[in-house]
Chain A
Amino acid sequence: MTAKQYAQALYDLTDGKSKSEIEKSAADFARHIYRERKLKLAEKIFEQFGKIYNREKSIIEAEVVTAEKIGDAMEKKVKKYIEKKYSVKEVVVENIVDPNIKGGMIMKVGDEVMDGSIRGSLMELKKVLVK
């Protein structure tokens, strides 16, 4: 079985169950992996489980790079925008502060990047001027 299949099994075991049930099945699952000598897959299973969980629950993770820490109002705006664009129910925003981008914002969702930073614009300008 691959990490992905384990993760799917784990999701199926825990989906829609009460807290105590989840606790029990998670423990069973861990024991099973241990017995099957698949503990080395654990990291990958966690990663895949995260992906499957997010997909099933329609949650999306976004990385937002700004020059200064993002404010609440702005974060809400960003969330709304992403929710609409990717038609998901929930957005988890991770804010990374990087003064190097000078201003504006870079938004990363999955493998898609939207560069609205001052640094990015300056690079574009440089390209145009060099031409």
Chain B
Amino acid sequence: MQKDFIVELLKKQIEGFKAETKSEKVGRVVEVGDGIARVTGLSGAMASEMLEFEGKTGQPVLGVALNLEEDQVGVMILGEYEKIKESDTVRSTGKILSVPVGEEMIGRVVSPLGIAIDGKGEIKTEKSYPIEKIAAGVIERESVKQPLQTGIKAIDAMIPIGRGQRELIIGDRQTGKTAVAVDAIINQKGQDVICIYVAIGQKESKVARIVAELEKRDAMMYTIVVTAGASDPAALSFIAPYAGCAMGEYFMDQGKDVLVIYDDLSKHAWAYRQVSLLLKRPPGREAYPGDIFYLHSRLLERSAKLSKEMGGGSITALPIIETQAGDVSAYIPTNVISITDGQIYLESDLFYKGIRPALNVGLSVSRVGSSAQIKAMKKVAGKLRLDLAQFRELEAFAQFGSDLDESTRAQIERGRRTVEILKQDQYVPMSVENQVAILFALTNGYLDDVAVENVQKWEGEFHKYMKDMKSDVLGLIKEKKELTEDVEKALRKAIEEYKEVYGNA
């Protein structure tokens, strides 16, 4: 019975089918190699249109038309170019390259084309967004005013980041750039922020380690990882950040807040340089093509804080740049510094001194973030900045110890404790109320009589005490977001009580 039914159904289907003869424009591969193909014909191809290479076997390989020349099209191949032969047929699809987007992507590890690579099965989404999109205009935007807490004391206090901001993380290799970004993701737990980590040309082992760490800390529940590995073609590295941004834009259009991390844009520039040189575009400074600035500016400009009328969503971008031997005046670093709204500068000298995060407070800035800080934090952070600046000026004299006058010595001592407090281990982001409490204690001199080497222990116990005994004070800071007189009084009282219990040990 079943068989007849199926046959009937099939018959009906086939009867309804009418093959139409339609004409289409096709091209022919004349040259292929290094992830680039040159195709003749295809007179109707559009710039950055998706093309299909029809091999004799299996799935067609995708490509993107990048160079439209007089009688040739230069195509960047996405996928295995080894399958493409000379004189293969190329069809245009009439579509701009796009990636699947949607809630289903959350918690997954995907390739830049949106294909799952975490072995958890196919991702079924109905929506897709083009990877290249013009950024929101002036009318659709709003100024940055909501904080995005990274959970790192030094950053949240002195280089605050707002939702919709673009803050560059820059530093040499092995200075903890990725650690800052991963901590920021972990701290978004329960903050209603969707995180997208885009790994560009990174080692697969590093990505695997990060994903495992995020999973361990329940951070994959709100995170998408987009990865183009070191062994993937340069074309995939090139589109990865745009794909990640498109996935973020979907959530932004839903009125949600998104944090996107591009790790890292130097490798992205290298990938684009490779593709450009193979397409025979003329090389410029450091052999980068002429549009390398636009490459990054159009990507980072897509981070935005949308106005209420547009849903109020935002994309915060944390691009990462790796410098060579601390040279921030190289081509790509200066480009990205000028595009972003500030930079977090990490130094290897500080890192080896044991100051982690190895943040250079003098060179790091945030151009818009201070308007996004909560009032309580603003109040304690202003004093903190001053203390640190004075300390840096006087640090050289520190070795003269006893010859210094009282106030200078006090400033140096305060500075040493400040540096100590700003140290923070990886994977232990701190809530903003705890940050305010400890920084308040520091800037108001409650730590001056604690020995420098005991400061970190003192802090650890302090947070425990506040959590166990004085959670009402923390709650008050969180709720009021301001150090009003009574909040300040309660906080002072709590600190004094703690000092009595704990002593100065």
Interface residue A112 (Cβ < 8 Å from any Cβ of B): yes
A interface footprint on B21-33 (CB within 8 Å = 1, 0 otherwise): 1111111000000
How far apart are the CA atoms of A129 and B17 in the complex, in Å? 10
Contact of B19 among A114, A125, A129 (CB under 8 A): A125
Contact of B19 with A112 in the complex, beta carbons under 8 Å: no
Q: What CA separation (Å) do A110 and B42 show in the bound complex?
A: 10
Q: Which of A104-124 contact B (CB under 8 A)?
A: 110-116, 120-121, 124
Task: Report whether A121 and B19 are in contact in the complex, using a CB–CB cutoff of 8 Å.
Answer: yes
Residues of A within 8 A of B282 (CB): none
A128: Cβ under 8 A from any B Cβ = yes
- Interface magnitude class on chain A: 10 to 19
CB nearest to B44 among chain A residues: A111
The binding surface of chain B is classed by DSSP as mixed
Contact B24 A112 (CB under 8 A): yes
Docked-complex contact A111 and B17, CB < 8 angstroms: no
Q: Which of A111, A120, A129 contacts B27 (CB 8 A)?
A: A111
* List of A residues within 8 angstroms of B27 by Cβ: 111
In the bound complex, what is the Cα–Cα distance between A125 and B10 (angstroms)? Answer: 11
State whether B14 touches A114 (Cβ < 8 A). Answer: no
Task: List residues of chain B with CB within 8 A of the CB of A111.
Answer: 25-27, 40-43
B469: shortest Cβ distance to chain A, in Å? 65
Bound form: Cα–Cα A113–B26 in Å: 7
Taken together as a complex, chains A and B put the C-alpha atoms of A128 and B16 apart, in Å, by: 11
Q: Bound complex: CA of A121 vs CA of B22, how far in Å?
A: 11
Interface residues of B in 38-57 (CB under 8 A from A): 40-43
A110→B13 CA distance, assembly (Å) = 35
* Interface of chain A residues 79 through 110 with chain B (CB within 8 A): 110
* B41–A116 CB distance below 8 A: no
A120 to B24, CA, bound (A): 13
Q: How far is the CA of A113 from the CA of B43 in the complex (A)?
A: 12
Please determine whether B22 and A114 come into contact, CB atoms closer than 8 angstroms. yes
Chain B residues within an 8 Å CB radius of A113: 23-26
Q: How many A-B contacts at CB < 8 Å in the complex?
A: 35
User: Of all chain B residues, which has the CB nearest A106?
Assistant: B21
In the bound assembly, the distance between CA atoms of A32 and B21 in angstroms comes to 49
How far is the CB of B396 from the nearest CB of chain A, in Å?
A: 68
Interface size on B, residues (CB 8 A): 16
On whether the beta carbons of B43 and A128 are closer than 8 Å, the reply is no
Q: Which of A110, A111, A125 gathers most chain B CB within 10 Å?
A: A111
Contact B21–A115 (Cβ < 8 Å): yes
Query: Pick the contact of A124 from B19, B26, B41 — CB < 8 Å?
Result: B19
Closest beta carbon of chain A to B31's beta carbon, Å? 15
> Is the Cβ of B17 less than 8 Å from the Cβ of A112?
no
Task: Write the chain B residue with the least CB distance to A105.
Answer: B21
Residues of A within 8 A of B25 (CB): 111-113
Q: Using Cβ atoms and an 8 Å threshold, which residues of chain B touch A124?
A: 17, 19
Quote the shortest CB–CB distance from B51 to chain A (angstroms).
13
Asked whether, in the complex, the Cβ of A120 is within 8 Å of the Cβ of B23, the reply is: no
- In the assembled complex, the CB of A50 is this many whole angstroms from the nearest CB of chain B, namely 14
Q: Across the two chains, which residue of chain B brings its CB closest to A111?
A: B41
By beta carbon, the residue of chain B nearest A125 is B17
Q: Which residues of B contact A120 (CB under 8 A)?
A: 19
User: In the complex, are the beta carbons of A114 and B17 less than 8 A apart?
Assistant: no
Cα A24 to Cα B344 with chains together (Å): 76
Contact with A along B349-388 (1 / 0, CB 8 A): 0000000000000000000000000000000000000000
Residues of A within 8 A of B42 (CB): 111
Mark interface residues in B377-411 (1 if CB within 8 Å of A CB, else 0): 00000000000000000000000000000000000
Residues 282-325 of chain B, each 1 if its beta carbon lies under 8 Å from chain A, else 0: 00000000000000000000000000000000000000000000
Q: Report how far A103 CA is from B41 CA in the complex, Å.
A: 26
CA distance A125 to B21 in the complex (A): 13
Query: How far, in whole Å, are A114 and B25 apart by their CA atoms in the complex?
Result: 9
Q: Are A128 and B17 in contact (CB under 8 A)?
A: yes
- Indicate the member of B19, B23, B42 with the most A CB atoms within 10 Å: B19
CA distance A110 to B17 in the complex (A): 29
Nearest residue in B to A109 (C-beta to C-beta)?
Answer: B23
Task: Give the complex CA separation of A115 and B17 in angstroms.
Answer: 16
CA–CA, A79 and B333, complex, Å = 62
Given the complex of chains A and B, what is the CA–CA distance between A111 and B24 in angstroms? Answer: 8
Q: With the chains together, A124 CA to B42 CA distance in Å?
A: 22
**A-B residue pairs, 10 tightest by C-beta:** A111-B41, A121-B19, A116-B21, A114-B23, A113-B26, A124-B19, A111-B25, A112-B23, A111-B43, A112-B25
A-B pairs with beta carbons under 8 Å apart, 14 shown: A110-B43, A111-B25, A111-B26, A111-B42, A112-B25, A113-B23, A113-B26, A114-B22, A115-B24, A124-B17, A125-B17, A125-B19, A128-B17, A129-B10
Residues of A within 8 A of B (CB): 110-116, 120-121, 124-125, 128-129
Known interface pairs A111-B41, A129-B10; 7 further A-B residue pairs with C-beta atoms within 8 A, sorted by A's residue number: A110-B43, A111-B26, A111-B27, A112-B25, A116-B21, A125-B14, A129-B13
